[in-house]
Amino acid sequence: MKTIVGLEIHVQLATTTKLFCGCSTDYRDDEPNTHCCPICLGLPGALPRLNRKAVEYGLRVAKALDMEVPEESEFARKNYFYPDLPKAYQVTQYDKPLAVAGTVEIEDDEGHEKIVRITRVHLEEDPGRLVHVAGGSKYSLVDYNRSGIPLLEIVTEPDMRSPQEARRFLNKLRTILEYLGVFDGDREGSLRVDANISLEGSVRVEVKNISSYKGVEKALTFEVTRQKNLLRRGQTVTRETRHFMEGRGITTSARSKEEERDYRYFPEPDLRPLRVAEWVAAIDLPELPVARKNRFVEQYGISLNHARTLTGDPKLADFYEEVAGVDPVLAATWVSDTLLGELNYRDMSIAAVPPGRIAELLGLLKEETITDAAGVQVLREMLDACARGKPCEMPAAIVKREGLGKATGGEFTPVVQAVIAANPQAVEDYRIGKKGALNFLVGQVMKETRGRADPRELGRIVSECIETGGV
């Protein structure tokens, strides 16, 4: 049964002021209702003034997604009553959006490249926020600091075929938005998703207001199972809106009234139609993820997988370019395979790591002053210090202090002899041709010597010792 997924993504644009007034958008951690004025509070007679930067940001996205920008677009009023919406209408774009018909390239579940079509992008204002008072209070509070924050709504065609594809699409989109500098992904609530999902031949269900990528994948996975189970039992899927309960990982039916809402859209009389198609030519786009990925493969001779990982985050890609000079392939392997894993484990961001330290570590590895295993130990020492807010020690100093310098064969002979003597069964297995036995013996020596010896060299020494009867 084919799964069909389409997404609507609301992105908070990283402008410094709101969409229709001069109030600051830097409201997080501030007292409620301190970033408000008559315009974003919707007081009678207040007139909106469009933020030029928000339009420019919207057009940057349109250009990056290869979209058409029509001669004219238009703002409209979407009428509904809700306490977080002071005017009782939201200014958005309806039948004349900012841009239409774009594309984003992702990998499908088989690892092949595929295109997800973008239907439209449009600008709109964020409503305020309801704050539910803990402890069973009879009332809720309203904070209008968020009211009027510029949003870009990005709508896709139903081109995704699994929850995993949807997550990959969102990751890709987020990367593009970060490269464009129009979005701050670290801000809480800066990206919210509504997901449409259906199984082939059945009706569509909309899951509203999911606030993380993992949430999208989880909500969709839950829906696929729920809908399949209904159909298997001979029941039908109801066309409805559902809410995702992030904590419980399930979706629940929303009141069906929401379905029937008629928003009575009409053109916003206080704003003129937008004629900005000619601005697009003047927009200078930065190098985007796909181009950067291809350049990394070509310029540095690294694998496509490494290039993909490294360019998945502009900060990581910049970091890589700072340390690639030592040895591009070695740097790609260490940054994407080892460093990223160690950072994730400590919940640290790449911004916390000084590139100079990693370049020095790569130098030690390249010159074979230390082994890979010792390199990992040095890296862990450095990151542990960083994570505790301590100064990041130089790798060479750690190697010296901990005695991690690569040792020569002779230094290990006594350890090798002791290991051979202690494991007669493994020695016997090796003699009769069991390959694994050698790895076991080498592993024992590595353990005894804290990874300071090159495993290949050790393998040679161990087999020599056994064959020459050096025990």
Interface residues with Zn ion (CB under 5 A)? 21, 23, 37, 39-40
SS3 305: helix
Residue number with CB closer to Zn ion (30 or 71): 30
Residue the block writes with tokens 């969102």: 170
Looking at beta carbons only, is 31 or 113 nearer to Zn ion?
Answer: 31
Q: How far is the CB of 85 from Zn ion (least distance, A)?
A: 15
In angstroms, give the least distance from the CB of 15 to Zn ion. Answer: 13
Which of 88/245 has CB closer to Zn ion?
88
Contact present, 426 and 439 (Cβ < 8 Å): no
Rg of the chain on CA atoms, in Å: 29
Q: Which is nearer to Zn ion, 39 or 220 (CB)?
A: 39
Collapsing DSSP to helix, strand or coil, 123 comes out as strand
CB of 21 to Zn ion, least distance (A): 3
We find the least distance from the C-beta atom of residue 148 to Zn ion, in angstroms, to be 6
Q: How many CA atoms lie within 13 A of 220 on its CB side?
A: 26
Amino acid found at 251: T
DSSP of 231-293: HHTT-----EEEEEETTTTEEEEPPTHHHH-----EE-TTSPPB--GGGGGG--PPPPHHHHH
Nearer to Zn ion, 73 or 145 (CB): 145
- Closer by beta carbon to Zn ion, 40 or else 378: 40
Q: At its nearest, how many Å lie between Zn ion and the CB of residue 230?
A: 46
Do residues 43 and 152 make contact, with C-beta atoms less than 8 angstroms apart? no
Q: Report CA-CA distances (Å) from 8 to 194, 199, 281.
A: 5, 18, 27
- Closest contact distance (angstroms) between CB of 268 and Zn ion is 17
Q: Which is nearer to Zn ion, 51 or 93 (CB)?
A: 51
To Zn ion, the closest distance from the beta carbon of 7 in angstroms equals 30
Give the whole-angstrom CA distance, residue 216 versus residue 10: 13
